[in-house]
A and B are shown apart, each in its own frame.
Chain A
Amino acid sequence: MRRYVARQLVQFVVVIVGISMLAFAILHVIGDPVLLLLPQNAGKAEYERYHKLLGLDKPLYVQYAKFASRALQGDFGKSWYTDTPAFRLVLQRMPPTIYLTLAGLVMALLIALPLGILAALKRHSFVDNLCTMIAVAGQAMPIFWLGIMLIIIFAVRLKALPASGYGTWQHFLMPAFTLGAFLAPLTMRLVRSGVIEIMNMEYIKTARAKGLSERMVVIKHAFRNACIPVITVLGLQFGQLLGGAIVTETVFAWPGVATLAVESIRNQDFPVVQCAVVLLALIIVSINFLVDMIVGLIDPRIRVGA
C-alpha cells in the first residue's frame, strides 16, 4: 500500500508542476502584456521600463522560477482589471463553483444511478436504449437552453424559484439540475457497465444460487461494487466539468470561478487567468488523487496494477 501511495504522490507533484508550466507558457506566448498595460501614446522608453518592471527581459526559465516561487506563497500578482490580488479574487469565487459542481454531481447521480442500473438489468432491450436516450438528452440539449427553459418555467411562470443568483438552497436547484443533466450520460454509461460487470461475477452467481431475490442481489452486492468505477469517473469528470460550469454560471448569474476565468481571458487579465488555471487544476488533481486513494483502498487489484 505504501508503494502505491508513494507512486501516486509522485505523479501528483509531477502533474502539478506540469500544469503550472503549461499555464505559465501559454500566457507568455499569447500576447504582449506590456502593450495592454500601457496607455496608448506611451513612448518606447515607457515600454522598456514596463518590460523590465514585469521582468519580461529575463530568460523564460528565470521568469518561470520567479512565477513558481511566488505562486507557492499564494502570490499571483494583481489583477490588471481591478488592481486587487489575483489570488484573493480567485479564492473568493471558488466556493460557489465548488458547491455548484458538487450539487451537479449529486444531481447527476440521482439521474444516472437509477437509469444505469435499469439499463444494466434490461441489457440490449428497448429499455436499455430508452435509458440511454434520457441520459443523453440532458447533455445533447444545449445547457443554456435547458437553463433558460427552467428559468422561464419555474421562475417566471410558476414563481417557485429565484431566477438567478446565489444564496439560498432554492438558488441551487436549477443550476445544479442543469449541470447534473450535462454530466448524466457518461455517469449512466459507467454505472451500467459497472453493474453489468459485477452481475457476471462469481460471488453474484453464488448469491443467486443461495436463492436471494434478484433485487437483493442487485442492491446489496452489485450496487456497492459498481460504485468504484462511478467514483473514479466522477473524480475524472471534475476536470471536464468546466465547460458546463461556464455556461451554467453565466445563465444563472452564479458568482463562480468559471465566469471569472472566462471574463479574465476576454479582458486579457493574465494574473487572474494564471491563478484560476493553477488553482482549478490543483483541485482537480487533488480530487483524482483522493479518488485513487479511496479506490486503491477498496480494491487491491488496482494497487498492484493492470
Chain B
Amino acid sequence: MKAVAAGGNAALKGVGAHDGARGFDARRASLSRLWRLKWGLAAAALLLLIVASAALAPWLAPYDPLAVDIQHRLVPPVWMDGGTPKHPLGTDQIGRDLLARMLYGGRVSLIVGVTAVLISATIGVLTGLAAGYFGPRVDWLIMALVNVMLSFPFVLLALAVIAVLGPSLLNMIIVLAVADWPLYVRVIRAETLAICERDFVTAGRALGMSHARIVFRQIFPNLVSVIVVIATLQVARVIILESFLSFLGQGVQPPTPAWGNMLGEGRVYMLNSWWIAAFPGLAIFVTTLAINLMGNGLRDWLDPHMKL
C-alpha cells in the first residue's frame, strides 16, 4: 500500500514537463508529440466510431433487437454457408438479428460503464482528497475503510446484493460504482499528500484560504491527468465486470440486449453456433483494447512521466 504511495511521489516530479518549449518550436513539438501518440489517436477514433454506432442504434439497426423469429433461428453470418444478407451477422437462438442486438447492446454496456465510472470516480476522488488533505486521523479512518472494501471479496457482495434487490439496470450501476471507488483513493491520496507539502499550498493556508478553495483550486488541477487516465481504464474494467455479472445471470436481464448477457446466453452455443457469443465478445474485446490504448495515449499526452 505504501509502495504505491511512494510511486506516486515520483510521478509528480514530472508534472511540469509539458509546460515546456514556447514559440515557434511549440508547434513542431506538439505535432511530433501527436505523431507519437498515433496509436492513442487511432484508438480514440475507433472508440468514437463504437460510441457513435451505439448512439445511432435506432437508425442503424435493421431490425428490432427484440423481434423473435423462430423460423430463422441460428442463421450463420452472411459469409458462411447458410448465411443471408438479410442478417449480416446471423441470428441468435430465437431468431433475433445479431447486428441489431450488438448495436443496442453497445448502448447498454457503454452507458452502464460510463455512469458507473463517473459515480465511482467522484466518490473515490473526493475520498482520496479528504484522506490526503485533512490530516492523519481522517487519513487513517479512510484508509481503514478502503482496506476493508478492497479486501472484501467484492464480486460476492455484488452478487448477494443483486440477488436480493433484483437485477435492474440501476442496481447494477450502483453495485459496479461501489466496487471500484477504493481504487482511486490510494493514488489520489498519495498525490494529494505530496502536493500538500509544496509551497503554494502552505502559502495558501497562510493567506487564510478556505479548505475548499485550496483543494479545488490548487490541488485538484494537478490530479486531473491521473484521474482521467485511471477513469478511462476503469470503464474497460467495468464493462468486463458487467459481463461477469451477466454471465452469472445477475446482470442486465434478457431480453434486453447487453454485450455481457449476450455472451452468457451464447456460451452453450460456442461449440456450433459460435457467432452468438463471438460478436459480443469481439465487441467487448475491441472496445476494451481501444480504451486501454486511448488511456495510454492520454497518459502520454497529459503527463508523459506518469506512472501508469
Chain B residue numbers with a CB within 8 Å of A145 are 263, 267, 270, 277, 281
A277 close to B156 (CB less than 8 A): yes
Chain A residue numbers with a CB within 8 Å of B281 are 141-142, 145
B29 beta carbon closer than 8 Å to chain A: no
Expressed in whole angstroms, the Cα–Cα distance for A240 and B156 within the complex equals 11
B206 beta carbon closer than 8 Å to chain A: no
For B93-118 the 0/1 string (1 means CB < 8 A from A) is: 00000000000000000000000000
Chain A residue numbers with a CB within 8 Å of B5 are 306
Chain A residue numbers with a CB within 8 Å of B263 are 142, 144-145
B284 beta carbon closer than 8 Å to chain A: yes
A129 beta carbon closer than 8 Å to chain B: yes
Expressed in whole angstroms, the Cα–Cα distance for A268 and B219 within the complex equals 46
Q: Which of A30, A142, A229 contacts B3 (CB 8 A)?
A: A229
Q: Which of B147, B152, B193, B304 contacts A124 (CB 8 A)?
A: B304
- State the majority secondary structure of interface residues on B: helix
- Total residues of chain B contacting the partner, CB 8 A: 58
A276 beta carbon closer than 8 Å to chain B: yes
For A65-106 the 0/1 string (1 means CB < 8 A from B) is: 000000000000000000000000000000000000000000
B152 close to A19 (CB less than 8 A): yes
A-B interface pairs (CB < 8 A), number: 170
B160 close to A197 (CB less than 8 A): no
Q: Known contacts A11-B144, A18-B148, A232-B1; decide if A242 and B153 are in contact (CB<8 Å).
A: yes
A152 beta carbon closer than 8 Å to chain B: yes
Chain B residue numbers with a CB within 8 Å of A136 are 236, 288-289, 292
Binds B, one of A42-50, A54-62, A279-287: A279-287
Q: Known contacts A140-B240, A145-B263, A292-B1; decide if A30 and B247 are in contact (CB<8 Å).
A: no
B150 close to A239 (CB less than 8 A): yes
Expressed in whole angstroms, the Cα–Cα distance for A44 and B154 within the complex equals 37
Expressed in whole angstroms, the Cα–Cα distance for A109 and B194 within the complex equals 31
- State the majority secondary structure of interface residues on A: helix
A15 close to B147 (CB less than 8 A): yes
Min C-beta distance of B303 to chain A, whole Å: 13
A243 beta carbon closer than 8 Å to chain B: yes
For A259-303 the 0/1 string (1 means CB < 8 A from B) is: 001100110100001001100110011001000100110010111
Residue in A15, A240, A243 with the greatest tally of chain B CB atoms within 10 Å: A243
B284 close to A142 (CB less than 8 A): yes
Q: Known contacts A140-B236, A197-B307, A277-B153; decide if A133 and B289 are in contact (CB<8 Å).
A: yes
Expressed in whole angstroms, the Cα–Cα distance for A228 and B36 within the complex equals 30
Spell out B's residues near A (CB within 8 Å): 1-10, 36, 39, 143-145, 147-148, 150-157, 159-161, 163-164, 190, 193-194, 236, 240-241, 243-244, 247-248, 263, 267, 270-271, 277, 281, 284-285, 287-289, 292-293, 296, 300, 304, 307-308
A11-B144, A193-B7, A285-B147 known; 18 new pairs, CB 8 Å cut-off, are A27-B160, A129-B293, A136-B289, A140-B240, A142-B281, A142-B284, A145-B267, A189-B308, A229-B3, A239-B152, A243-B155, A243-B244, A262-B159, A262-B248, A280-B156, A288-B151, A302-B6, A303-B2
